[in-house]
Amino acid sequence: MGWFTRKDKNIVTPTEEKKNTPGGLWHKTPSGVIVDKDDLESNAWVCHEDGYHFRVGSKEYFSIIFDDEKFTELDTDMESKDPLQFVDTKAYTDRVKASQEKTTLKDAVRTAYGKTSGKPIVVAAMDFSFIGGSMGSVVGEKIARAIDHAIKKKCGFMMISKSGGARMMEAGFSLMQMAKTSAKLTLLAKNKLPYISYLTDPTTGGVTASFAMLGDVNIAEPGALIGFAGPRVIKETIGKDLPEGFQTSEFLLEHGFLDFIVDRRELKDKLSLLLDLFSK
Amino acid sequence: MAIYLDFEKPLQELDKQIKKIKEVESTGVDITQTLKELTDKRKEQTKEIYNNLTAWQKVQVSRHPERPYTLSYINAITEGEFIELHGDRNVKDDKAMVGGFGMLDGKSVMFVGQQKGVNTKMRQYRNFGMPNPEGYRKALRLMKLAEKFNKPIVCFIDTPGAFPGLEAEERGQGEAIARNLYEMMNLTVPVINIIIGEGASGGALGIGIGDRVLMMENTWYSVISPESCSSILWRNWDHKQEAAECLKLTAKDMKKNKLIDGIIKEPLGGAHADPDAAFKKVKTAINKHLNELEELNADDRITQRIEKFSEMGVFAE
């Protein structure tokens, strides 16, 4: 009898005693540092060792920004309607449904009202996990209404961008969300309320070419990809390799399109000071 | 030599026949009857084809190499009373974006638009109608100039997109377009935007905010070109026809979805078949809408403009 032969028939361990190894306990940064999930959570999802900012979504940003993680979410039930009955290799409605099931989100942005360091603020945070954070009617409308809410509450507005750009499957509707969000920002400006635009990895296309670049203050996370055209398209157009660091936050700061770069761990304190500097 | 699009083959055949008949005339044969029959037939055939264009065929017409471009419209509408103004006062003069004051029936109007080239050399010179950030900034400078002197603005849109280049990124292509959307929203003077050819994405929208957004009959306006859409969603370029249908990018669909304000009819066979007729139709449309817009005061125009764009979109809640 070999040592590997099972002595008892069948598996006898009761389900509740099963030792599960949950997935995603460890994360790896591009430079190869392995980080424990709990360590990351307590460090704003930034690697202790090399400072790499892991991509996170609205849930994490809300927990970083809002005091005691308390906030009122706005327009929680809004979802896409497929105005063009768009079908490519897959129906758009199926894509949305699949994304909703996978992410438990309704669409690629969540908006909320609450307090940060004791000061009222409206925050809109995008979720890249939902169809690449792309902007269709829902994203545009939720941002527009978030701005309306900031005007109503006479408080500042913060946009956390993280998006591949406009959503192709809503075509013309998506394009016009750029116009809609920009229109609302002019109203915010008329009310002399501050708009803080926080650009995170990645922010490209129609999002860069509308609200993301229109902040009274434009700030970014370190090392984020920020641009209008995607790097692959530019490479194909010019037929040359792109220089190192092209389209990073640091590159944009150097070229004058950002006010400063802020580490996610210092975001809340910087935001607090900024809001004070606008109001006191 | 006329240029025929693939679906215009029947017209090419008829034109050949007409040419042959005309050659026979020199031999003294009376061709009046045959010629009339052929030209009538050509007209019918053109109607038949042009009344049933698919989305992709319209995209092809919008890119027809003989289609009139922005400066042709401006020169025709102002009867040459136009002074082009150059430069963004910052980096350089973008040849893919043109603009200046022109006289429209005795009234000064600021014209702005993307410009494509008419031959290989000029196409390069104009960067194929793809502006760099300085193009958008030049456009904004001119629009602000118009606002200062209380002159209405007409934007002609015809671009395959904002240029996706290295320097364009360095100089903030995204910021330049975003700034235009923002500033154009609150221009105190009337603004009319007309898509005369291609209206590709942010590159088009960058001069596309106004009180009346009009599309010519055989143009397209969308978030992406059918080719790029095909390459991203289907991972190859073979589905451009399908993509063109899906994107609902024609004037008719854009109007139906309330994303534009009106359509300007084109002469039979498209703007390139009879440019003078196209210029006339565009001029009539500009005059009509300017008259309507000048009835309103600046605040009302701005409020309506902002409300119009704010209402765009379809969602459930």
Q: Quick: pLDDT tens for B160-188.
A: 999 999 999 999 999 999 999 999 999 99
**Per-residue confidence (pLDDT) for residue B119, from 0 to 100:** 93
pLDDT level of residue A172 (50, 70, 90 thresholds): very high
- pLDDT tens, position by position, B208-225: 999 999 999 999 999 999
Say which of B177, B221, B223 has its CB closest to residue A166: B223
Say which of A136, A170, A182 has its CB closest to residue B178: A182
Q: What percent of chain B has pLDDT over 70?
A: 100
Give the closest-approach CA distance of A21 to chain B in angstroms: 36
Q: Is A76 on the interface with B (CB under 8 A)?
A: no
CA pseudo-torsion sign B15, B18, B24, B28: negative
Q: What angle do CA B272, B273, B279 make, to 5 degrees?
A: 60
- pLDDT tens, position by position, A217-230: 999 999 999 999 99
A208:B179 CB<8 A: no
A210:B306 CB<8 A: no
Spell out which residues of chain B touch residue A195, defining contact as CB-CB under 8 Å. Answer: none
Q: Is A164 on the interface with B (CB under 8 A)?
A: no
- Residue (of A97, A95, A78) closest to A86 by Cα position: A95
Cα–Cα distance list, A238 to A11, A235, A245, B63, B117 (Å): 62, 5, 17, 23, 20
Name the pairing type of β-strands B107-114 and B97-104.
Answer: antiparallel
Question: Which chain A residue lies closest to B176 (C-alpha atoms)?
Answer: A209
pLDDT of A235 over the 80 cut: yes
Spell out which residues of chain A touch residue B206, defining contact as CB-CB under 8 Å. Answer: 209
Using CA atoms of B239, B240, B244, B247 in order, give the dihedral in degrees to the nearest 10: 70
- pLDDT tens, position by position, B24-78: 877 778 888 889 999 999 999 999 999 999 999 999 999 999 999 999 999 999 9
Spell out which residues of chain A touch residue B173, defining contact as CB-CB under 8 Å. Answer: 209, 228-229
What is the pLDDT averaged over residues A237-245?
Answer: 91
**Per-residue confidence (pLDDT) for residue B36, from 0 to 100:** 92
Residue A174 three-state SS: helix
CB A79 within 8 A of CB A97: no
A175:B205 CB<8 A: yes
pLDDT of A1 over the 60 cut: no
pLDDT level of residue A15 (50, 70, 90 thresholds): low
Question: Which chain A residue lies closest to B310 (C-alpha atoms)?
Answer: A180
Spell out which residues of chain B touch residue A180, defining contact as CB-CB under 8 Å. Answer: 309-310, 312-313
The CA distance from A22 to A17, in Å, is: 14
Question: Which chain A residue lies closest to B239 (C-alpha atoms)?
Answer: A88
What's at A240, amino acid-wise?
Answer: K
Q: Is A178 on the interface with B (CB under 8 A)?
A: yes
pLDDT of B90 over the 60 cut: yes
The CA distance from B249 to B247, in Å, is: 5
Q: What angle do CA A178, B307, B299 make, to 5 degrees?
A: 115
Tokens at A33, concatenated? 């540092």
Say which of A186, A210, A234 has its CB closest to residue B186: A186
Cα–Cα distance list, B308 to A184, B178, B252 (Å): 12, 18, 18
The CA distance from B229 to A166, in Å, is: 12
Residue B223 three-state SS: coil
CB A148 within 8 A of CB A142: no
Give the closest-approach CA distance of A122 to chain B in angstroms: 19
| Range with lowest mean pLDDT among A2-11, A81-90, B73-82 | A2-11
Hey, which residues does B192 pair with through a beta bridge? B154, B212
Max CA separation in chain A (angstroms): 85
CB A71 within 8 A of CB A124: no
pLDDT of B201 over the 70 cut: yes
Q: Is A182 on the interface with B (CB under 8 A)?
A: yes
Domains and CATH numbers, chain B: 70-292 (3.90.226.10)
Tokens at A129, concatenated? 């996990």
pLDDT level of residue A8 (50, 70, 90 thresholds): confident
The CA distance from B125 to A137, in Å, is: 37
**Per-residue confidence (pLDDT) for residue A11, from 0 to 100:** 67
More confidently predicted of A42 and B83:
B83
Say which of B170, B233, B305 has its CB closest to residue A255: B170
The CA distance from B255 to B168, in Å, is: 32
pLDDT of A20 over the 80 cut: no
Spell out which residues of chain B touch residue A179, defining contact as CB-CB under 8 Å. Answer: 181, 185, 205, 208-209, 309, 312
**Per-residue confidence (pLDDT) for residue A19, from 0 to 100:** 64
What is the pLDDT averaged over residues B241-254?
Answer: 96
Give the closest-approach CA distance of B260 to chain A in angstroms: 10
A173:B259 CB<8 A: yes
CB B58 within 8 A of CB B218: yes
- pLDDT tens, position by position, B271-311: 999 999 999 999 999 999 999 999 999 999 999 999 999 99
Alpha helix (H) residue ranges in chain B: 9-25, 32-50, 55-62, 70-77, 120-125, 133-148, 166-170, 173-184, 201-205, 226-233, 240-247, 251-256, 275-294, 298-310
Question: Which chain B residue lies closest to A78 (C-alpha atoms)?
Answer: B317
ipTM above threshold 0.85: yes
pLDDT of A23 over the 80 cut: no
Q: Is the peptide bond before A120 cis (omega within 30 degrees of 0)?
A: no
Q: What percent of chain B has pLDDT over 90?
A: 91
**Per-residue confidence (pLDDT) for residue A38, from 0 to 100:** 86
Hey, which residues does A149 pair with through a beta bridge? none
- pLDDT tens, position by position, A105-152: 999 999 999 999 999 999 999 999 999 999 999 999 999 999 999 999
Count of Cβ atoms closer than 10 Å to residue B199 Cβ: 31
Question: Which chain A residue lies closest to B302 (C-alpha atoms)?
Answer: A183
CA atoms within 13 A on the CB side of A22: 7
B181:A210 CB<8 A: yes
pLDDT of A18 over the 70 cut: no
pLDDT level of residue A37 (50, 70, 90 thresholds): confident
Say which of B174, B177, B232 has its CB closest to residue A168: B232
Residue B141 three-state SS: helix
Mean pLDDT of chain A: 93
Q: Is A7 on the interface with B (CB under 8 A)?
A: no
